[in-house]
A = this chain, B = another copy of it.
């Protein structure tokens, strides 16, 4: 697989009100992402509530997205799990169903205690899907595992034949830049913090994975165009808008907040599963008002046809 350029949406998993998976919405959601110009989707990750689902459910959801994608966009399946044995099952399944890549966070109950230990752990997972590119998912604020990523590339590069790169979800752009430039840019280092996309581009980011790309990709794509055209002041102003939206968002629990945004835009993706919470009507209305004052609903693409499911 070539290096990824463009945006990959960290897709939400639609649930019914009773918490069961709502498969029926997945095809329309994927169609929307294709139309919005996404390059890929990342499924069963943090935003997809992968860690809230059973292994069987994760496999079902991955399969539904792969099928809906129909090779129109890349499908990354997140297979990270506290149990490496379980992660291997998910990895093998992802390969079997025709996913384009897999990715895994570090084990997060017992945590790797050294870069070597992390690389050993990831090697076991990657080996279960040897035909797929493997991306280590670096997200220290959620997993509590904050290893040196240059050391990781140095150790894991030779040890994991299908290591493609890193989904890099951290603010340390100096290390991010070093990873991009490591061995003449050998690895694909996808950036994972939407609200820092512009400064990440300044140090070389070409591809990014993020949750807000699910509902606001066109706004980011415009920022990217302006940056590429050397129009920095306009790029910064364009980027500032999403920075402000996210500033409001993160005053709420962010995954429930984004499911609320999706609902405001016509996509009823249902509740989140515990321990994640779901917006109360009051919080929903307050948040909707805040976004309206930012003219968000004039800018983000709403669902074209009313949702019926």
Contact = CB atoms under 8 A, between A and B. Distances in A.
A96 interface: no
Interface string A69-86: 000000000000111111
Contacts of A150: 247
A85 B273 contact: yes
A222 interface: no
Nearest to A108: B109
B110 A51 contact: yes
Contact of A236 (B108, B172, B203): B203
A265 interface: no
Contacts of A124: 274
Interface residues of A, number: 68
A89 B57 CA distance: 13
Contacts of A235: 202
Q: Output the residue of A53, A54, A175, A230 with the most chain B CB within 10 A.
A: A54
Contacts of A85: 19, 52-54, 57, 273
Contacts of A106: 275
A161 interface: no
A121 B275 contact: yes
B109 A273 contact: no
Contact of A274 (B53, B84, B171, B246): B84
Interface in A10-69: 19, 46, 49, 51-55, 57
Interface in A90-138: 106-113, 117-118, 120-121, 124
5 contacts: A52-B84, A111-B275, A171-B172, A181-B240, A202-B235
Interface of A: 19, 46, 49, 51-55, 57, 81-86, 89, 106-113, 117-118, 120-121, 124, 142-144, 150, 171-175, 177-178, 181, 193, 195-196, 198-204, 230, 232, 235-236, 239-240, 243-244, 246-247, 253, 255, 273-277
